Amino acid sequence: MIIRKNYKPRLLLVLLFFLVLYAVIAVRLFLVQIYQQDFFEILARQQYVTEITTRPARALIYDRNGEPLTLNRERLSAFLLPHRFHEPKRIMKLLKKRFPSVYKKLRKEKKRRFLWVDRHLSAEALREMKAYNSPDIYFLAEPERFYPFPATAHVVGFTDVDNIGIAGIELRFNNLVGGTPTTFVLEKDARSGHFYFNRDIKKRGGEGEPVTLTIDRNLQFFAQEELLKTVANYEAKGGAVLIMDPNSGHVLAMASSPGFDPNQSRITDPEQTKNIPVTECFELGSVIKVFAALAALEEGVVTPDEELDCEGKSTYIDGFRVENWKSLGEGIHSFSEVVAQSNNVGIAKVAKRLGPRLYYHLRKLGFGNRTGIRFPGERSGFVNPPHNWSRSSIVVLSFGYEIMATILQLGKAFSVIANGGYDVQPVLVLNPERKKRVLPFGALYKKEVVEQLKDILELRGWLKKRYSIEGYRIVGKTGTARSVKDGKYSQNDHVYTYAAIVEKGDYRRVVVSFIKEPKKAHMWATEVTTPLFHKVAEKMVVYDTAKGVL
């Protein structure tokens, strides 16, 4: 007898098993692909995608001739994603040994999801970083600023590691040239694990706008070169050279010493980055006599040929001892000779006739006020007001003490003389409406008074023989002043200035040379800053002639 087995229950059981299995798979697929889609997308993105915010390449800064003073380049930077280390023990050991500051930061902030290892890697540093062969070190190209003309560094400034301006024009116009940041979504190359092969924009930023300066990079180079030579020759603590076009107020060169290279990875001494003509104030000495003389002639309290008793080597005025250094101009001299020979007694006697009006004229010329050149850290300087005067104030103010001024303020005031008495606004950023001569402020001084003063200050004698430039008229004045040390005037430390106008026909330039505290004491500005002026001015007129400016 054959017994037939009933397989239907088994088949049903198997069928039921597979139905349940397929149901579980279907439910699982539903959960993964639909219900938990966002969760798994986020998980995947955490494994292969990261976000980073970067700024666009900065817009360029140009000189007045359209030559770029800044450039952009890309440099690789190394970073970590601590939340998904592949080899946590190895990378932590590497960080502890090679990058202790990063190691300490990571130990302190264990939940960090992003951490820079090193920024803007040099070629050598990049080779070393790749040699570690770590899957936990990633690389990203970042924009970096490059400065092809270090001579303009004190004016242009520089950026930090995040490509944000932190000095000079880069700081002043950071938002304009820097644009707005862009947020990128980066997808990792799964094979190498190092570079990002896909970069999508999540939030688009905006490009920056370029800035054009009045600076001529070639004149800037000449000025910086001669300044550094002079500072080195006299072992001075610093110095400056300013070249202005008084017709337009354009600053054509603004050099400072000590110098620095804006392309070096780290600026160690902030003092080296100061733009001295704008950000430093000094008591400038006898060069201020020019403006005391201008005020006296304008007010009519003296005439160029009036004779004054300059007495002996020294005398007392209102109980204050006034010296004629090196016995300059002792005895009876015309006012013209008093100014030309830089006689302290004579100019002080005339200043007493002016009284508080001297203060008014100094302020009218711009001393004690910012020039409005739109440069970070510009100083306003100081002129001691009459209500604070002592008996000696009017005397010492006439030859450059109790007045703190910037080299730019001095250049502006000399531009008034060069302009025939018209005021001028110093300009560093070249706007289209300022390309032509604009003198909106009216005449501050009568033209005939200005011409009288220029005749007095014209280079003559042995100075003309040594420092003249053939075919050009040079009108200038030196200044020597003691530096303040520990609240007292030093007997050994001085600052030296020479401010001059170089003119020929319609061509005019104001050049100011300044040297701070040479190692050798007891010199005169004619030994220090007049030669510096002459070297710069010679190169300037040759260059301007070649350009067709003349």
Mind giving me the DSSP string for 142-198?
A: EEEEE-S-GGGHHHH-EE-TTS-EEEHHHHHTHHHHH---EEEEEEE-TTTSSSEEE
Alpha-carbon distance of 219 to 63, in angstroms, equals 11
- Give yes or no: residues 190 and 274 share one domain: no
Last residue of a domain, one of 196, 212, 228: 212
DSSP 36: T
Last residue of a domain, one of 161, 190, 212: 212
| Residues of the chain under the 50 pLDDT cut | 190, 192-193, 433-440
In a domain, 17, yes or no: no
Omega prior to 258 cis, within 30 of 0? yes
Instruction: Read off the CATH number of the domain in which 428 is found.
Output: 3.40.710.10
Q: What is the pLDDT of residues 28-44, one digit of tens each?
A: 777 666 666 666 565 55
By C-alpha distance, which of 510, 460, 526, 480 is closest to 287?
Answer: 480
In a domain, 260, yes or no: yes
Q: Which range marks the domain in which residue 542 is found? A: 217-547
- Give yes or no: residues 290 and 203 share one domain: no
Last residue of a domain, one of 156, 183, 212: 212
pTM of the model: 0.83
In a domain, 156, yes or no: no
Where residue 163 falls (left for φ over 0; alpha for ψ -120 to 50; beta otherwise) is left
Determine the pLDDT at residue 91: 87
In a domain, 169, yes or no: no
Determine the pLDDT at residue 51: 65
The answer to whether the CB of 478 falls within 8 A of the CB of 286 is yes
- Give yes or no: residues 496 and 510 share one domain: yes
The answer to whether the CB of 469 falls within 8 A of the CB of 541 is yes
Determine the pLDDT at residue 413: 97
Determine the pLDDT at residue 437: 47
- Give yes or no: residues 208 and 238 share one domain: no
Alpha-carbon distance of 142 to 188, in angstroms, equals 17
Alpha-carbon distance of 276 to 260, in angstroms, equals 13
Pairing of the two strands 211-212 and 71-80: unpaired
- Give yes or no: residues 471 and 498 share one domain: yes
- Give yes or no: residues 261 and 113 share one domain: no
Phi, psi of 209 (to 5 degrees): -110, 140
- Give yes or no: residues 192 and 249 share one domain: no
By C-alpha distance, which of 489, 480, 490, 470 is closest to 514?
Answer: 480
Alpha-carbon distance of 324 to 395, in angstroms, equals 13
H-helix or E-strand spanning residue 369: none
In a domain, 483, yes or no: yes
- Give yes or no: residues 330 and 458 share one domain: yes
User: In terms of residues, how long is the chain?
Assistant: 550
- Give yes or no: residues 189 and 326 share one domain: no
- Give yes or no: residues 184 and 246 share one domain: no
Alpha-carbon distance of 485 to 131, in angstroms, equals 54
Determine the pLDDT at residue 241: 98
Here the tokens at position 235 are 């072992």
- Give yes or no: residues 189 and 237 share one domain: no
In a domain, 46, yes or no: no
Q: Tokens 């260059």: give the residue.
A: 543
Instruction: Read off the CATH number of the domain in which 186 is found.
Output: 3.90.1310.10
In a domain, 28, yes or no: no
- Give yes or no: residues 291 and 222 share one domain: yes
In a domain, 3, yes or no: no
Indicate the number of domains in the chain.
2
Here the tokens at position 379 are 């100083």
Q: How many other C-beta atoms lie within 10 A of the C-beta of residue 487? A: 5
DSSP 57: P
